[in-house]
């Protein structure tokens, strides 16, 4: 999608003179959240602005090597500096999320800043921004940052460090360029970033080879003991309870990607992952082809996301949540025949 002219004009105007800028992203920031905020911060600095990334909690450590990561403020580690940085900003950029309830303890401080700019690719944005770049077809927020840089004539500012941040987010959010949101334009942008010196080996090693022994054992247990394959529904269901998570010394991020193993079984079109938390059950769905799991989760499990990858939640027990899911599933699948 082309960068919207009206938002671009507003952005140009906002950045006409040097500004103090805070850049925020969602709770449990992923590769796209950290990559896009850092990439955008590098760009703004190169253009003469004062920019600082502020995150609602500390990202997983497999992103620690990203250029500029050590200067990121995290609310859980540095609450005072995080909040005062936002409060004293002229502009807050909101990247890779579109509802202010997605940024945890930063919400009130961000709401209080008058000028907010949204750059995001999730469905159904809340209207809180003075300028909104919302492209639900974009493969990642990092891709959008490059498109905006192109529109602003800022491509010369993308050096190797900036390119590395943005490329990393593009890789993680597109499932290494395999999700349907990956377009020729995605590849052209990735190629442009590669030309600026991204070390492919470094990026892919950092993203892929980060398992702990506990995580691998939890994965082995999950696939062996907690995965149900329903060939007639072309669906795979995985559920994990608190007790099992404790047994394998669960750390945040350990179950990242588990749901994708279900979808990697030949012939499957839907994978569901249910994880019990102390006060709720979180649901991750992945699908292939035309099976809009974001709508399903929005309708039934207080969730949302993308058509082929979405999340939701349930206040019921793990067992009751899976039962409810199973009772709703046949109608959903019938409404979207393969």
Q: Which residues bind Mn ion (CB under 5 A)?
A: 32, 96, 141, 173
Give the SS3 label for residue 296.
helix
Q: Say if CB 86 and CB 74 are below 8 A apart.
A: no
CA atoms 285, 291, 294, 297: torsion sign: negative
Sheet holding 227-230, edge to edge: 227-230, 235-240, 270-276, 281-287, 309-314, 304-306
> 37 or 162: whose CB is closer to Mn ion?
37
CB of 19 to Mn ion, least distance (A): 25
The least distance separating Mn ion from the CB of residue 60, rounded to whole angstroms, comes to 15
Closer residue to Mn ion, CB minimum distance, 206 or 218: 206
- State which residue has the least CB distance to Mn ion: 32
To Mn ion, the closest distance from the beta carbon of 118 in angstroms equals: 13
Q: How far is the CB of 30 from Mn ion (least distance, A)?
A: 7
State the minimum distance, in angstroms, from the CB of residue 301 to Mn ion: 20
Question: Between residues 30 and 254, which has the closer beta carbon with respect to Mn ion?
Answer: 30
**Least separation in angstroms between CB 160 and Mn ion:** 22
Cα separation, 7 vs 79, in Å, equals: 31
Nearer to Mn ion, 95 or 268 (CB): 95
- Tell the smallest beta-carbon distance from residue 96 to Mn ion (Å): 4
Closest CA to 333 of 196, 235, 213: 235
| Shorter beta-carbon distance to Mn ion: residue 174 or 255 | 174
Distances (CA, A) of 170 to 127, 143, 196: 25, 6, 15
Which residue in 327, 318, 308 sits closest to 274, CA to CA? 318
Residue 60 vs 316, nearer CB to Mn ion: 60
Give Cα 33 to chain centroid, integer Å: 6
The three-state secondary structure class of 151 is helix
Query: Considering beta carbons, is residue 135 or 276 the nearer one to Mn ion?
Result: 135
What whole-number distance in Å separates Cα of residue 269 and Cα of residue 286? 8
CA dist 272 and 236 (Å) reads 6
């Amino acid at each position: 999608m082309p960068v919207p002219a009206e938002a671009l004009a507003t952005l140009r105007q906002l950045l006409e003179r040097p500004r103090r800028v805070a850049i925020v992203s969602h709770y449990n920031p992923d590769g796209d959240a950290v990559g896009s905020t850092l990439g955008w911060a590098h760009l703004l600095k190169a253009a003469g602005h004062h920019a600082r990334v502020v995150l609602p909690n500390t990202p997983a450590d497999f992103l620690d090597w990203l250029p500029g990561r050590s200067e990121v403020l995290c609310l859980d580690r540095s609450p005072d500096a995080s909040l005062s940085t936002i409060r004293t900003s002229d502009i807050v950029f909101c990247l890779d999320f579109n509802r202010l309830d997605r940024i945890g303890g930063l919400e009130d401080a961000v709401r209080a800043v008058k000028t907010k700019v949204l750059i995001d690719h999730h469905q159904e944005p809340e209207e809180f921004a003075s300028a909104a770049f919302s492209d639900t077809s974009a493969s990642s927020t990092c891709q959008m940052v490059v498109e905006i840089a192109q529109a602003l004539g800022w491509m010369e500012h993308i050096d190797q460090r900036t390119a590395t941040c943005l490329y990393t987010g593009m890789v993680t959010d597109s499932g290494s360029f395999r999700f349907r949101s990956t377009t020729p334009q995605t590849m052209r942008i990735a190629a442009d970033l590669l030309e600026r010196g991204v070390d492919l080996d470094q990026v892919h090693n950092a993203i892929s080879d980060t398992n702990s022994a506990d995580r691998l054992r939890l994965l082995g247990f999950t696939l062996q003991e907690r995965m149900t394959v329903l060939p007639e529904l072309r669906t795979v269901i995985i559920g994990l309870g608190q007790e099992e998570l404790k047994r394998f010394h669960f750390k945040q991020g350990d179950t990242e990607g588990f749901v994708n193993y279900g979808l990697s079984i030949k012939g499957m079109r839907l994978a569901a992952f249910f994880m019990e938390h102390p006060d709720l059950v979180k649901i991750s769905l992945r699908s292939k082809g035309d099976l809009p799991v974001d709508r399903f989760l929005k309708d039934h499990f207080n969730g949302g996301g993308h058509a082929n990858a979405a999340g939701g939640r349930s206040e019921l027990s793990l067992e009751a949540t899976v039962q409810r899911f199973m009772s709703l599933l046949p109608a959903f699948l019938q409404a979207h025949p393969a």
